[in-house]
Structure 1
Amino acid sequence: MRLFFIVIITLLFPLSNTSYVTTVITTPAKVVVVKKLPKNHKIVFVKGQRYYTWNGKHNIKTNNGYVVVRF
């Protein structure tokens, strides 16, 4: 019986010793918040969502201002 436990522990130790944890490193997104819209902005609707566009970029309104979004 003692030999059985020693064999089991010997077989299970290498399996439990390896780590399956991976580390993912991400860089924070570069977000530019515009506080006030320029006068030449246009309002467009895409799938029922309101976007403000100028200079070829679409922006969405948030609590802090307007943030550029990509489609």
Structure 2
Amino acid sequence: MKAFYILILAIILSFSISSCATRTRVVTKPAPSVTVVKVAPKKHRIVTVRGKRYYYWNGRHYRKTRRGYVYVRI
């Protein structure tokens, strides 16, 4: 009976030691520089493009976020 337990333990350990997981390579891109404006100017316009609301001034579109207004390309 003792030999049986040792055999089962050896089988379990051999499966736990050899991993079937393969290494993957993760490629990350550097974060793009983001333009954040805290307060929109008084002369901004609210425009809707493809059903989404954007704020427009100085020839650029901005999206409202918690941090402020973020410049987006449309």
Task: Report TM bin, short chain.
Answer: 0.5 to 0.7
The match for 2:61 among 30, 39, 58 is 58
2:44 and 2:38 map into 1 onto residues whose CA distance is: 13
Unaligned runs of 5+ in 1: 1-18
RMSD: 1.6
Distance 1:49 1:25, change over 3 A: closer
Matched with 1:37 is 40
TM-score of the aligned structures, taking structure 2 as reference length: 0.61
Unaligned runs of 5+ in 2: 1-21
The match for 2:29 among 23, 26, 31 is 26
Give the drift of 1:27.
1.8
**Paired residue total:** 53
* SS in structure 1 at match of 2:41: coil
